[in-house]
Structure 1
Amino acid sequence: MAAAGDGRTAAASGPEALLSLSRQVDASLVQLFLELEQLEGKRVALNARVEEGWFSLSKTRYAMGAKSVGPLQYSSSMAPCFRVRTSEPEPGRPEFEVVFSEPGSPQEAPAADAHGVSDSGEPEPASPVLRRRPQPGASPPQPGASPPQPAPPPAAVAPAPERDPLTWFGILVPQSLRQAQGSFRAALLLAGEIAALQSRIEWGRARVQGLLREKRKLLEQLQAA
């Protein structure tokens, strides 16, 4: 009697499991289609922002001259204004986010110079022992006395790179150049959203395929029973 009851319970749980799998497949497919629609819209918006940026940049070159807006005006020291932050909320599902790096962040801090500077302005090689000049009126060191300890050199502060690339092209730049910068920044943010969305779509496709395999195996088991 117990064996017959267990068989009826297994037979009853089979259709319930099949119904649950079917609902999961439907929900995953709907979510996948919504994300594909969002991806298409963001791609169209990205192309529009890039076109706006190039058009505004062309207007700036026409107003200022082609030689005034080009690689020759780039600064010798550059720092990224945007960074890509990665995370993995679920195994096999990476997420990407483009964030604006604030000025003075630890990633942007310039490295301290470890070399001294001579009187002539030429950098001296780093040495464990630094020369110490005698002060006027100071008595000479007595024989057998311990030599004075060298004072630690002050930390050299390197000039911070320009944060705003618009300053490379002058102080008063045309409004079209600011519009080009805004368009390209918006395009960068959209590119990060597109990368994150593509990652979710790939993960959703793999999930749907896995659920369909489970559903196929369950159907075969029910048909065999």
Structure 2
Amino acid sequence: MAETAAGSKPSPTPAAPAAGALQALCTQLDDHVVQLFLELEQLEGKRAELNARVEEGWFSLSKTRYAMGAKAVSPLQYSSSMAPLFRVCANEPEPGRPEFEVVFTKVGSPKESSPKEDQGVIDGEPKSESPVLRRRQQSHASPPQPTPPTPATETSVEQDPLTWFGILVPQSLRQAQGSFRAALLIAGEIAGLQSRIEWERAQIQALLQEKRKLLEQMMVE
């Protein structure tokens, strides 16, 4: 009877590999869940910091408009030609997990001719000459060949946007610029965090499906 009873008991060896796989799967799932909560906490702090920086920037800008006048700090002072001072770099270290980084770029380099040279020459002749002297020179020499004018926007050097509002701007305007720059950098970090959170959620969903399938196989066995 004892031998019969002992022989009727199922062997625990077939379920051992499944139990080990289930334990490893649960460990991976726990790691992803903990990482997800940590990134959600970081995202909440970054959003609060972003809102604080934007509020500081608008408050400093309001102080500047109060000191200089609403018309002195408005879109009317914007330059006709603008160049971005920030660019966003994106890479994908893992499939489906893009990373973003906001990088500060330097101003553009000057062209071959300078604006001072363009201002001192009109149709290939100096500005300082009088019309009478110009007519005398043209009577003894051959007529000059017309040269295509160079646009000032192509030869001008990109400057700090603060110079659009004057040379000596208030300190509050510089503080507003610094606050908005910091907000841009934080926005890049928030975009990276949101991307990692979405990737963590996708990993958790995949692990849960795999765990469900493994449990169904163990129940069938």
What is the TM-score normalised by the length of structure 2?
Answer: 0.75
Q: Does 1:175 align with 2:171?
A: yes
Q: 1:202 to 1:52 in 2, by over 3 A?
A: same
Matched letter for residue 120 of structure 1: D
- Which runs of 5 or more residues in structure 1 are unaligned? 1-6, 113-118, 122-154
- In structure 2, the residue matched to 1:213 is 209
The aligned residue for residue 196 of structure 1 is 192
In the TM superposition, 1:34-183 aligns within 5 A as: 34-104=38-108, 120=123, 158-183=154-179
SS state at 2:194 partner: helix
> Conserved in 1, the CA contact under 8 Å of 2:90 and 2:98?
yes
Distance 1:168 1:84, change over 3 A: same
Structure 2 SS opposite 1:196 = helix
Structure 1 match to 2:144: none
Q: Name the amino acid aligned to 1:23.
A: T
Q: Match for residue 30 of structure 1?
A: 34
Identity of aligned residues (%): 71
**In 2, Cα distance between the equivalents of 1:218 and 1:54?**
55
> Deviation digits for residues 201-220 of structure 1, max 9, x if unmatched?
00100000000110111011
CA offsets 1:10-60 (integer angstroms, 9 cap, x no match): 422110000000000000000000000000000000000000000000000
In the alignment, the residues of structure 1 paired with residue 156 and residue 13 of structure 2 have an alpha-carbon distance, to the nearest angstrom, of 73
What root-mean-square deviation, in Å, do the aligned CA atoms of Structure 1 and Structure 2 show? 2.9
Q: For residue 79 of structure 1, report the CA deviation from its aligned partner.
A: 0.3
CA distance in 2, matches of 1:209, 1:187: 33
Taking structure 1 as the reference length, what is the TM-score of the superposition? 0.73
